[in-house]
A and B are shown apart, each in its own frame.
Chain A
Amino acid sequence: EPEVTQTPSHQVTQMGQEVILRCVPISNHLYFYWYRQILGQKVEFLVSFYNNEISEKSEIFDDQFSVERPDGSNFTLKIRSTKLEDSAMYFCASRAQARTSSYEQYFGPGTRLTVT
């Protein structure tokens, strides 16, 4: 069964450093998302991406964040200058095209980001 994959599974970085989190969505999906979950808290939406551009973003997704789909398979989240409060689990998700009216999202296993 196709699944969303994410790398690395765990990333440790120092405050102020740049990190890139990588995701490979399900191959025929067209909508891509990043969410984060701080330990013990709820899953929070960061950004959605469709047709090679950001379609929606939350207040969390400030100028320190960017997303990119550099090729036909990868979807990346970059944090330019990490802060301690960026420590969280980051989930990538993808969804099939709208024509199927299929709104369910499929999540990857997550990348645990630890900022020290």
Chain B
Amino acid sequence: SQKIEQNSEALNIQEGKTATLTCNYTNYSPAYLQWYRQDPGRGPVFLLLIRENEKEKRKERLKVTFDTTLKQSLFHITASQPADSATYLCALGSSGYSTLTFGKGTMLLVSP
């Protein structure tokens, strides 16, 4: 069955450093991969999408890489800030109706 794994433990980093979150998957050939941010008690908020034929995508302080051979995506937040503290969700999708399959998420804590 499809499986998506994200760092299960919280990631603690200091303000100003780069946070790197990992998403690994098995038994899946996604057409694209998305990263979402989720704050406690709130809905996921879309951040970035990367397609299967793309290696890297950037948006402001965010960078996503996608390696379909390794079946892995890395999500980077540079110059992290305490306001970046949240849970980050990896989600895989195929084309068509684009149903998303989510990982459990990684909690990021950025301390001042």
Contact = CB atoms under 8 A, between A and B. Distances in A.
A75 interface: no
Interface residues of A, number: 26
Q: Which secondary structure dominates where chain A touches chain B?
A: strand
Interface stretch (B12-20, B39-47, B67-75): B39-47
Interface string A70-108: 000000000000000000010101010000000111111
Given A42-B102, A44-B102, A106 B97 contact: no
B81 interface: no
Q: How large is the interface on B (under 10, 10 to 19, 20 to 34, 35 or more residues)?
A: 20 to 34
B97 A104 contact: no
A50 B49 contact: no
Interface string B58-102: 000000000000000000000000000000010101010111111
A55 B46 CA distance: 22
B102 A110 contact: no
Interface of A: 4, 31, 33, 35, 41-45, 48, 50, 55-56, 89, 91, 93, 95, 103-110, 112
